[in-house]
């Protein structure tokens, strides 16, 4: 374990704020929680060889615990190192090894669903919906509405690149409409490392991240900022790379919704004039809450004229990257997702706005309504506008 982490976990005040924020603990009475699995276990493990604790793998790596800590104990990252001590059977190792390399897993998108017997063999949750490639037609939105706003890199995460390439094009069209010049990144599929770190493999995370950095590096010098679509990648690239990976992108990393704040007034006026009356539940993913905060997606929904929309109350939907795909997490992920589905029902929402692809499919499966990225909801509403004025 890195020595700097030793100093930090010893700083734990035992204030238990982390415990109060843990979504897994709130639905799984067997889970020992962030304080026990993070600083407490690490303190002992630092002094002598001890066994990893049961249920350490049940941590989703949402990092809400870490974000709540007043003295900056890297709780979730300590738990990731704790996970690394667990001895796993070979089948699990194969599965986890693949899921920790989502840029490679996404290349198999064309294969479609995995049949039942293979799922059992691979330890994939029986009933959970796996990602499938979405096909979407994306058209141009027209000339930029405002002044030129500089050149940005649009970071296409593994999920978007593999399963939802249309979303990337929709986001790029919106950014161009707002006056940005857009370069899509990375040129070849690459992972920031988030998936491997979450699965308890920090060395693989750093290797994946370094490979990605090399892929994007040549383009960076001429960019004003990098815009991210996925909340997890957003936090990983901006906050975790410098802190836990040992390198950084060296340009500002800005989430898509924050870039949307820069959209010209005319854009919002046009969206507000659309007659469609969809109601959305705006769910900021757990990692989005950690990386940038909360309330932004709801603000976007309101600003775009989705009247009657509401911010979601649930801390986490349970998907947590590939967490919900693993059979041992089916129950916890299901319970977390159920709370969000109840909110959809209560609001009678027509759709969910959320900033992660895997969360979206998990929410769609539970709630029965369409769950998509903010870029999708802004893009489709702007198309509505174009159709209505024609």
Partner 1 sequence: MDGSDVVIVGRGPAGLLMATLVAESGGRVTIVADGQGSLPLWGGQFDFRNYEPDGKPIADPFFWWTRQSGDHPGAATSSREWIRWWSYLRQLWQRIGIPTTRHFPRKNALLLTPLGRTKPTFLAPQWHFTQETAGSVTLVSVPGLMDFQAKAAAIQYQRATGKSADVVEISTPPSWHVRWQALQWAWFLDTMEGRNWILGEVGRLGVNSDRPLIFPQMLGIEQAESLMQSIAEVSQRVVGEIPLLPPAIGGIRVQRRWERWLKRQRVRFISGRVLDFSRRYVLELTNGRRIPAGRLVLATGGVLGGGVRVYPDGRLEDSVMGIEVGRAEKLADLGAAGLRQSERVPIAVGREVGGCDPDRHGDGGAMILLTVHQAYKILRGADARAEER
Q: Does 262 bind partner 1 (CB under 8 A)?
A: no
CB of 32 to partner 1, least distance (A): 7
Site string for partner 1, 286-325 (x = CB under 8 A): ---xxxxxxxx-xx--x-------xx-x------------
| Helix, strand or coil, per DSSP, at residue 385 | helix
Stretch that binds partner 1, among 9-17, 96-104, 200-208, 365-373 (CB under 8 A): 9-17
Q: Does 239 bind partner 1 (CB under 8 A)?
A: yes
| Cα–Cα distance for residue pair 348/84, rounded to 1 Å | 42
Q: Which CA distances in Å does 333 have to 64, 79, 263, 340, 344?
A: 16, 19, 36, 11, 17
CB of 294 to partner 1, least distance (A): 5
Look at residues 9, 262, 7 and name the one whose alpha carbon lies nearest to residue 144.
262
Token pair listed for 223: 């960019």
Shorter beta-carbon distance to partner 1: residue 316 or 361: 316
Residue selected from 7, 10, 11, 15 as contacting partner 1 according to rule CB under 8 A: 15
CB of 72 to partner 1, least distance (A): 9
Site string for partner 1, 65-104 (x = CB under 8 A): --xxxx----------------------------------
Shorter beta-carbon distance to partner 1: residue 36 or 215: 36
CA-based max dimension of the chain: 72
Shorter beta-carbon distance to partner 1: residue 64 or 124: 64
| Cα–Cα distance for residue pair 145/109, rounded to 1 Å | 36
| Cα–Cα distance for residue pair 77/255, rounded to 1 Å | 22
| Cα–Cα distance for residue pair 341/261, rounded to 1 Å | 28
Residue selected from 12, 19, 198, 223 as contacting partner 1 according to rule CB under 8 A: 19
Shorter beta-carbon distance to partner 1: residue 15 or 108: 15
Contacts of 77 (CB under 8 A, 6+ apart): 5, 66, 197, 202, 244
Shorter beta-carbon distance to partner 1: residue 94 or 338: 338
Q: Which CA distances in Å does 188 have to 15, 148, 155, 212, 224?
A: 45, 28, 11, 9, 21
| Cα–Cα distance for residue pair 72/17, rounded to 1 Å | 12
Stretch that binds partner 1, among 21-29, 138-146, 175-183, 317-325 (CB under 8 A): 21-29
In sequence order, what DSSP letters do the residues of 78-127 get, joined into one string? HHHHHHTT----HHHHHHHHHHT-HHHHGGGGGG-PPPHHHHHHHTB-SS
Q: Does 20 bind partner 1 (CB under 8 A)?
A: yes
CB of 254 to partner 1, least distance (A): 8
| Cα–Cα distance for residue pair 75/64, rounded to 1 Å | 9
CB of 289 to partner 1, least distance (A): 7
Size of the site for partner 1 (CB under 8 A): 37
Q: Does 16 bind partner 1 (CB under 8 A)?
A: yes
| Cα–Cα distance for residue pair 365/242, rounded to 1 Å | 36
Shorter beta-carbon distance to partner 1: residue 33 or 351: 33
Determine the straight-line distance between the first and last CA of the chain, rounded to whole angstroms.
62
Shorter beta-carbon distance to partner 1: residue 17 or 145: 17
Specify the residue for token string 């941590």.
Answer: 59
Residue selected from 5, 8, 9, 26 as contacting partner 1 according to rule CB under 8 A: 26
Do residues 126 and 156 lie in contact, with contact meaning Cβ atoms separated by under 8 Å?
Answer: no
CB of 380 to partner 1, least distance (A): 22
Q: Does 238 bind partner 1 (CB under 8 A)?
A: yes
CB of 20 to partner 1, least distance (A): 4
Residue selected from 5, 25, 271, 278 as contacting partner 1 according to rule CB under 8 A: 25
Shorter beta-carbon distance to partner 1: residue 147 or 389: 147
Q: Which residues bind partner 1 (CB under 8 A)?
A: 15-17, 19-21, 25-27, 29-30, 32, 36, 67-70, 238-239, 242, 252-254, 289-296, 298-299, 302, 310-311, 313
């Amino acid at each position: 374990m890195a020595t700097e982490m030793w100093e930090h976990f010893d700083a734990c005040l035992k204030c238990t704020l982390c415990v109060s924020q843990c979504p897994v603990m709130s639905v799984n009475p067997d889970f020992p929680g962030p304080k026990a699995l993070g600083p407490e276990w690490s303190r002992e493990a630092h002094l002598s060889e001890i066994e990893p604790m049961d249920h350490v793998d049940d941590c989703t790596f949402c990092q809400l615990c870490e974000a709540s800590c007043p003295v900056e104990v890297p709780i979730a990252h300590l738990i990731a190192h704790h996970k690394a001590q667990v001895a796993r059977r070979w089948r699990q190792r194969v599965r986890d090894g693949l899921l920790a390399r989502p840029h490679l897993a996404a290349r198999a998108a064309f294969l479609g669903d995995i049949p039942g017997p293979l799922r059992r063999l691979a330890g994939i949750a029986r009933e959970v919906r796996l990602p499938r490639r979405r096909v979407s037609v994306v058209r141009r939105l027209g000339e930029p509405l405002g002044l030129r706003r500089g050149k940005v890199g649009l970071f296409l995460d593994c999920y978007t690149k593999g399963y939802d390439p249309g979303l990337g094009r929709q986001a790029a069209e919106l950014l161009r409409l707002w006056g940005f010049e857009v370069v899509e990144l990375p040129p070849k599929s690459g992972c920031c490392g988030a998936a491997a770190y979450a699965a308890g493999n920090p060395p693989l995370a750093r290797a994946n991240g370094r490979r990605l950095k090399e892929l994007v590096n040549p383009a960076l010098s001429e960019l004003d900022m990098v815009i991210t679509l996925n909340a997890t990648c957003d936090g990983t690239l901006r906050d975790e790379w410098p802190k836990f990976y040992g390198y950084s992108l060296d340009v500002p990393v800005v989430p898509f919704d924050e870039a949307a704040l820069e959209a010209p007034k005319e854009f919002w006026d046009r969206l507000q004039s659309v007659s469609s009356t969809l109601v959305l539940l705006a769910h900021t993913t757990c990692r989005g809450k950690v990386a940038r905060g909360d309330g932004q997606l709801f603000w976007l929904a309101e600003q775009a004229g989705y009247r009657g929309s509401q911010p979601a109350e649930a801390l986490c939907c349970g998907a947590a990257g590939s967490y919900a795909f693993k059979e041992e997490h089916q129950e916890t992920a299901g319970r977390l997702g159920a709370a969000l589905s109840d909110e959809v029902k209560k609001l009678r929402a027509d759709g969910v706005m959320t900033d992660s692809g895997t969360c979206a499919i998990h929410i769609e499966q539970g709630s029965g309504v369409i769950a998509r990225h903010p870029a999708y909801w802004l893009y489709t509403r702007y198309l509505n506008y174009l159709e209505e004025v024609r």
